[in-house]
Structure 1
C-alpha cells in the first residue's frame, strides 16, 4: 500500500482586517482635508470667497428748468459738481436740499430753458461737470430718457473708475435753431477742418457774442427737415462731422438732451460733449467708450 504525500505547503499572506483599513482611510482624509481650529473639516461650500471687484454707480439728472439731482454720489463727488457749477454757470447756485433720496441743486436763472447765451452757458456748464467728474474718476456709462413727460431731459448714469483715466480736452457741438451749427471751446485747427469739410452746406459764418463759440448758418433747415431726401442729407452731415472730429482725436463722450422747449410741438436736439486725451497726437488711434 503506497504512502500518501503530505499536502504542498503554501505560505500564508495575512490580509489587514477591516478595522485596519478604516484607520488608514481616516488618516488619509485628515491629511488631505484642512481643519478648522476646533478640529472639524472646513466646509468650502458654505464660505464662498469674497468678491475682489465691485463697481459703484450714481446718477445725475436734469429737472424742471433749473434743477440738478444727484443720486448715490458720495459727498466728494457732490462737492465736485458744486464747484463745477460755481465756475461755469455765471449765476451760480440758488439753493440745495435733499429730496427723494437725492441731493437737489437749484440753479439761479433757467439753464435748461434759456435762449441765446444762456443756452450756451448751460452747455459749458454740463461740459465742465463732465470734465471734473471724469478727472475725479466718475465716467459716464449711459445717457438715457426714461420719461414720457413733455419737456423731459436725460438721466446720466456714471460709474466710478479707480484709478481715474488720464485728463482730456473737452468741447461741445450744438445743433441750434433749424439751421445753426455751434462748436464751443474747440482748437482752431479743428474749426478750420470742420469749415473745410462741410463747406458745401454752409451758407455763412455767424459772429457769436459769447467768447469761445464758433457758429455757422447751414443751407436749408437740416434740423427741421421734412422730406425724406433732406432728412437723410442731415444724417449724412452728422457722419461727416463725426469723421472730422475723429481725425482730430475727438470722440463723442455724451449726446444729451439738456434743453426743455416750452413749445411741445418743437423737437429738442441733443448736444454732443466730446473729448480727447490731452497727449493725443495726429495719427494716433482714437478709442471710444
Structure 2
C-alpha cells in the first residue's frame, strides 16, 4: 500500500455507444468539459446534446460517427477519436487497453485510461490513425507525403497494391483481392500487410498506441478495428521503453 500512497494512479473510461454517443466515465470535470471543444473542432457536424448519464458525462453528436452511412463520416470518426486520444494524452491520461465488455452483438469497445497523479505530463506526441475498411481498403489519416510514399512501397512490395487516392481527409489505398474478407491461405496476406506496416511505422519512430472497434457488427459480419499510433516528440527512448509491452498491441481485429 505504501507504493500506492506515494504514486497514486487514477483510472477512467471512454466508451462509444449507439451511432452517435460518447461517454466519459470517472474523468475529472475539467477533462470532459474541455473535451467539448475537441469534439466540436474535430467533428464538423457538431454536438447535438450533452448530459450526465448513469455516472458518466455523455455527448450526443450530430450525424452517425460510430455507424456511418457515408465515407465522409467514416473518415471523420477516426479523425475525431485520434484527436480525443491526443487531447487525453496531453492531459496525462494514457490509454491502457481497449476492451469489449459485452457479449451482445453490436457493442463497441470501452477504452481504459490511467493517469499518474503526481508525475509530470508525458512528452508531446503526434497521433496517427490507420483504418481497415470495406474488404480491401486501407486509409492513412495523414497528409505526410513521406508516410504516404512509405505505405505505397510497403503494399507494392507485397504485390497487392491496386490504386491510391485521397478520400476526404485520408489517403486511401485499395489492395488487390479482399484481404479483410479473406479466409484460409488467403488470410495470411493480411498478416504480411500488417507486419509490413508495423515495421515501416516503427522505423519512422511511430509506436502502436491502441486499437479500437468503432462500428457495430451483425450476426454475420464484423468490422475491423482501427489502429492508432503515436510518435513522441521528445524523451522518445524513455516513453517507447514504457510502451514495449503495451497490452493493446496484442489485439487487432483484422477481418471485416
TM-score range, shorter chain: 0.7 to 0.9
Q: Which segment is superposed worse, 199-208 or 185-194?
A: 199-208
Q: Distance in 2 between the 1:163 and 1:155 partners?
A: 26
Q: Distance in 1 between the 2:101 and 2:3 partners?
A: 37
1:169-248 equivalences in 2 (<5 Å): 169-199=126-156, 200-211=158-169, 213-226=170-183, 228-248=184-204
Query: Which structure exhibits the higher relative contact order, with contacts defined as CA atoms closer than 8 Å and separated by 6 or more residues?
Result: 2
Q: Distance in 1 between the 2:131 and 2:35 partners?
A: 22
> By percentage of residues, which structure has more strand?
2
C-alpha deviation, 1:239, in angstroms = 1.0
| Matching of residue 164 in structure 1 with residue 121 in structure 2 | yes
Q: Which segment is superposed worse, 101-110 or 201-210?
A: 201-210
Q: How many residues align?
A: 238
| Matching of residue 126 in structure 1 with residue 81 in structure 2 | yes
Give yes or no for contact 1:80–1:133 (8 Å, CA) kept in 2: no
Give yes or no for contact 1:201–1:218 (8 Å, CA) kept in 2: no
C-alpha deviation, 1:208, in angstroms = 2.7
Closer/same/farther in 2, CA of residues 248 and 70 from structure 1, 3 Å limit: same
RMSD across aligned positions (CA): 2.3
Structure 2 gap ranges (5+) = 247-256
C-alpha deviation, 1:229, in angstroms = 0.9
1:68-87 equivalences in 2 (<5 Å): 68-87=22-41
Closer/same/farther in 2, CA of residues 280 and 50 from structure 1, 3 Å limit: closer
Structure 1 gap ranges (5+) = 1-47
Q: Distance in 2 between the 1:264 and 1:86 partners?
A: 34
Give yes or no for contact 1:258–1:271 (8 Å, CA) kept in 2: yes
Aligned residue for 1:249?
205
| Matching of residue 260 in structure 1 with residue 216 in structure 2 | yes
Q: Distance in 2 between the 1:214 and 1:276 partners?
A: 19
Give the TM-score, by structure 1 length. Answer: 0.77
Give yes or no for contact 1:181–1:215 (8 Å, CA) kept in 2: yes
Give the TM-score, by structure 2 length. Answer: 0.86
Closer/same/farther in 2, CA of residues 246 and 180 from structure 1, 3 Å limit: same
Runs of 4+ off more than 3 Å: 200-203, 283-287
